[in-house]
Amino acid sequence: MDLQLIVITFFLFFIVSSLYSAVGHAGASGYIAIMALLSFAPESIKPIALILNSVVALIASVKFIKAGYFDKKIFYSFIFTSLPFAFIGGYITLNPVYFKIIAGIFLIISAILLLVKTYIRRPNTEIKPIPIYLCLLIGVIIGLLSGLIGVGGGIFLSPILILANWTSVKKASGIAALFILCNSLAGLIGHLPNMQLIDKSLFLWLVAVVLGGFLGTYFGTKKFNNKVIIGFLFLVLLSAGIKFILV
């Protein structure tokens, strides 16, 4: 990888980490999108995304939980089944062709969910009790997808929490952050036996996302609401997803 590409990747990872961590996400869908657009080797995308995701999710979890934006009952309702299935998904190594198709579909869905979470307001703000058995089933699905693709699943969980009126927007961010951390670690552990050599610049990517994670969570626990930026992220995810599927 030449110096120019390293600098561009560093900058983009920093931006994605900053934006996603501000809303309690770790940025895996954004990292995958960047690596897709920059033509990273498909076999290196999953482990890199999981490693970067784990680091940023740890920062976001600590910040949001310390700020009081967390609900352990809701968290346990999803993570109980999600965690083992994230491990199983991480252990499964997909053919690069199938990985690109599934990841492409995931990125497109993520783009849509990002808009749904940001632009669609809940008609009823009353917090409703969570149906435990439904949460356990959702945890299975999100966990398996998370491990297969190399994400934490927060991009799916937080819109569900908000649109179903199961918690507040801020608490959804805190719940999603710790959910992402646990799923990312489980997926990474499951993937270790099949892990191949990953990019030698990983340390630089870690520096980029750590800096972005601290910056984003600072603003996320204070004041942060920029729909223009969300719109930009939507275009990045959508274009990367289309590229993965078609190229």
pLDDT tens, 17-58? 888 777 667 888 889 889 988 988 888 888 999 999 999 999
CB 30 within 8 A of CB 183: no
- Residue 64's nearest CA partner among 167, 171, 168 is 171
The domains of the chain are located at 3-246
Which residues, including other chains, have CB under 8 Å from residue 83's CB and lie 6 or more apart? 143, 182, 183, 186
CB 36 within 8 A of CB 240: yes
**pLDDT beyond 60 at 155:** yes
The amino acid that residue 21 corresponds to is: S
Is pTM, for the whole model, over 0.75? yes
CB 114 within 8 A of CB 240: no
pLDDT tens, 159-207? 888 878 898 877 888 898 899 999 999 999 999 887 776 777 889 999 9
- Residue 26's nearest CA partner among 178, 200, 221 is 178
